[in-house]
Structure 1
Amino acid sequence: MKLNQLLSAAMAAFALSGAVAGEVEVLHYWTSGGEAKSAAELRKMMQSKGHTWKDFAVAGGGGDNAMTVLKSRVVSGNPPSAAQIKGPAIQEWAAEGVLANLDAVAKAENWDASLPVVVANVMKYKGNYVAAPVNVHRVNWLWASPEVLKKAGVPAMPKTFDEFFAAADKIKAAGLIPVAHGGQNWQDFTTFESVVLGVGGAKFYQDALVKLDQKALNSDTMKKSLETFRKIKSYTDPAAPGRDWNLATAMVMQGKAGFQFMGDWAKGEFIAAGKVPGKDFLCAAAPGTANAFTFNVDSFAMYKLKDAGAQKAQADLAAAIMSPAFQEVFNLNKGSIPVRLGMKMDKFDDCAKLSSKDFVDTARTGGLVPSVAHGMAVSPAAEGAIKDAVSQFWNNDKISVADGMKNIAKAATTQ
């Protein structure tokens, strides 16, 4: 069914229900081109149900600015209907008693059957839905320039770290930069968590980076992960510190660098520049991680409201976010994939199709794990401390692997 048909059906259902129309105020940080387009699509769906959409977009800082504004609104007793929040931060807000219960919508729309259990659990607090998921980003991607690989005589995307380093040596010998990287702690950790997953596998990743188990954090597998991570650093260029992620992606796009470890928002950059997957850029799971999937799920937490019309609008917003129509149009714009299981993927590119297949497969096998780098796995305090320890190790070659491991293990105890 096409989007406009779905919107018409929604309007008809709304007319029959005789429901109360209300205002829905949505705090989000979707301000870039594709994201803003997607927010406009959601607004259209809400307006088709007779509701008034009040846009509350806060740019900058990957959502940090938005969270500051949100806190002041909630503390003053005037929360928005919905706010873009993800991961354990959802549970932290729910524990404050300020989030609305979405179980009625979730039951009517059959969310339990439409979401992998591991994702559904992130949207719940004490068994009740309090947030609606929008999409899934895969974080453990390796992007490459086919032009650079060809120049360097690299025959295919590397599947193991041994193959990766052999390819990096060839790219270096060809006078090009093997690894495009930017110098921000979340970029360092995006690479680090893919290395831990590739070296140790999904169970080790869960034990070390999600459960923060001290035995795993001080193990030989973690030692090997840090040695591999440090070796990757030696293939980056001296200008990497302070570089934004999209500028690193541009280096791959322009044939200046061979590889980049980055989530699939990098694909959004390639697509926006008119590049074609398989021809102008290549995508593959990071070395050693083909049977695993680190997820980053954008979502909207819903706040407790007093007005009946506003409550109805909020419930309709939650239903619209999880609707197949919005899941399709949003993710086509964003470079991510639908979070709903069983979605048709014929309009999506080959990288998204691979991502979707692996998302479904790993949800069954236990290889679907939350991204620490992107706020999906541990408390914000622990995440910040571990990121700092990992970046210190990445940026200072004088820190030994043994000391790096100790520092990360200590950071993991941060409450």
Structure 2
Amino acid sequence: MRHYTGFRRACASLLASLLLAAGAGVRAGEVEVLHYWTSGGEAKSLAELKGMMAQRGHSWKDFAVVGGGGQNAMDVLKARVLAGNPPAAANIKGPAIQEWAALGALTNLDAMASFDRWDEALPKVVADQMKHKGRYVAVPVNVHRVNWLWANAEVLRQAGVNEAPRNFDEFFKAADKVRAAGLIALAHGGQDWQDFTTFESVVLGVGGAKFYDAALVKLDAQALGSDTLRRSLETFRRLRGYVDAASPGRDWNATTDLVIKGRAGFQFMGDWAKGEFLAAGQQPGKDFRCFPAPGTAEAFTYNVDSFAMFQLKAWEAQKAQGYLAYLLMGKDFQERFNLRKGSIPVRQNVAMDKFDECAKVSAQDFGKTAKAGTLVPSVAHGMALAPGQQALMRKLVSDFWNNPQMSVNDTQKQLLALAAGPQKPLP
């Protein structure tokens, strides 16, 4: 008990020093943050955090890397760390956090986590991913639901689509109606991570959460070679016929803009897309609709944005880094940030009163699926597989999407070979 009391006092002393330094506004530190939040909605979300840091006297050095669904940012991060010049924090997640921690690159956040009772505030599935060998090394800021289908409400009315598509048969009927109205049925940005995002929602919708976990998370050979995966690949390929010719290489937010402006009916994308609708002044239910992807209403693919904290040498930089961690987990930031980002707070004790209907459904479904065992990590967004293996699967799925000569049988064989191969750690 004496040791525990001493530890708590040390935690309080640490936090007090951070708050005192920030409030005094002297000898404040600079915090350099690597991220890939560069779209309109994302930039507005990040501005909340920058403003809160500035109010406490700390300077923010933006280290933004555009594109690649975060992959470009990870490539730059590797180069910086290997050169001995890491940023204070980097937007990384899932198994990648464990790899960086295993290399000894991340700092221990247990003092802050204990003082602020992170274990009580976070869902266990999230808290476990923020820890390495039982110690916090990263801070989560939100929960994204990936298995969303977005739609322009006026386009659906014009096309005579009155109900949310509950399965892919219903989706294709709805898409046919939108196309018959002379509009793009499915807005899709032809980049490998966007292809993979759509694919995982198809697998979840065709096979269900248990099959998704076996095939894409556990890489079970029986699941990967099954008729269910064959149907998933066939359904995925069929979606390709509803995409416009300008799709290849298009960024996700430019793709969302097609739905916003009424040029397209649907888009498969995580709820960061909602940030773009909101930034454009649109309202859920009135201007745009949010549906669980066909066949996935009883499941939830989660993507948790988090900031891993790297070891720094300068004390002033460490103070700024510590205060950043404190702000990230604060109720005020969690509410303000997620209201703009489109996601939901990762803290379980943040009121949802100010959030829109899509966010409230997401929060309810997150809790419901966690209890039902149908809450699954997003493979496409780095929450399940080691980065090397995820990259190989992402490329294979994208090759299948883009090459009509690539057969379903050959793709299943390559998936089986990939699953059997060794995982590649960070260099």
The alignment's TM-score, normalised by the length of structure 2, stands at: 0.87
Q: Does 1:192 find its partner at 2:199?
A: yes
Query: Retained in 1: the 8 A contact 2:41–2:278?
Result: no
Q: Which runs of 5+ in 2 are unaligned?
A: 1-14
Q: How far did 1:310 drift?
A: 3.7
In structure 2, relative to structure 1, the CA distance for the partners of 1:96 and 1:168 (3 Å cut) is: same
Q: How far did 1:308 drift?
A: 4.3
Task: Choose the corresponding residue for 1:14, options 19, 36, 40.
Answer: 19
Secondary structure of the residue aligned to 1:181 is coil
* Between 182-191 and 108-117, the greater mean CA deviation after superposition: 108-117
Query: Retained in 2: the 8 A contact 1:341–1:360?
Result: no
Letter in 2 for 1:374: H
RMSD of the alignment, in Å? 2.6
Query: Retained in 1: the 8 A contact 2:39–2:253?
Result: no
Q: Does 1:405 find its partner at 2:385?
A: no
Q: Which residue of 2 aligns with 1:59?
A: 65
Q: Which residue of 2 aligns with 1:173?
A: 180
In structure 2, relative to structure 1, the CA distance for the partners of 1:17 and 1:187 (3 Å cut) is: closer
Inter-partner Cα distance in structure 2 for 1:162 and 1:74: 48
Q: Which residue of 2 aligns with 1:96?
A: 103
Letter in 2 for 1:56: D
**Post-superposition CA distance 1:190-222 (Å, at most 9, x none):** 110001111111121111111112221111211
Q: Does 1:41 find its partner at 2:40?
A: no
Inter-partner Cα distance in structure 2 for 1:94 and 1:35: 27
Aligned ranges for residues 56-95 of structure 1 at < 5 Å? 56-61=62-67, 62-95=69-102
Q: Which residue of 2 aligns with 1:154?
A: 161
Query: Retained in 2: the 8 A contact 1:385–1:412?
Result: no
In structure 2, relative to structure 1, the CA distance for the partners of 1:194 and 1:308 (3 Å cut) is: same
Query: Retained in 1: the 8 A contact 2:152–2:264?
Result: yes
Letter in 2 for 1:180: A
Q: Which residue of 1 aligns with 2:119?
A: 112
Q: Which residue of 1 aligns with 2:273?
A: 266
Q: How far did 1:248 drift?
A: 2.4
Q: Does 1:25 find its partner at 2:9?
A: no
Inter-partner Cα distance in structure 1 for 2:231 and 2:265: 24
Q: How far did 1:376 drift?
A: 1.6
Query: Retained in 2: the 8 A contact 1:21–1:49?
Result: no
Aligned ranges for residues 211-290 of structure 1 at < 5 Å? 211-290=218-297
Q: How many residues align?
A: 405
* Between 220-229 and 311-320, the greater mean CA deviation after superposition: 311-320
Q: How far did 1:111 drift?
A: 1.4
Secondary structure of the residue aligned to 1:79 is coil
Give % identity: 62
In structure 2, relative to structure 1, the CA distance for the partners of 1:243 and 1:32 (3 Å cut) is: closer
Secondary structure of the residue aligned to 1:142 is strand
Query: Retained in 2: the 8 A contact 1:277–1:283?
Result: yes
* Between 33-42 and 366-375, the greater mean CA deviation after superposition: 33-42
Q: How far did 1:37 drift?
A: 3.9
Q: How far did 1:281 drift?
A: 0.9
The alignment's TM-score, normalised by the length of structure 1, stands at: 0.90
Task: Choose the corresponding residue for 1:140, options 130, 143, 147.
Answer: 147
Q: Which residue of 1 aligns with 2:402?
A: 395
Q: How far did 1:56 drift?
A: 3.3
Letter in 1 for 2:19: F
Secondary structure of the residue aligned to 1:412 is helix
* Between 169-178 and 85-94, the greater mean CA deviation after superposition: 169-178
Q: Which residue of 1 aligns with 2:350?
A: 343
Query: Retained in 2: the 8 A contact 1:144–1:260?
Result: yes
Q: Which residue of 1 aligns with 2:4?
A: none
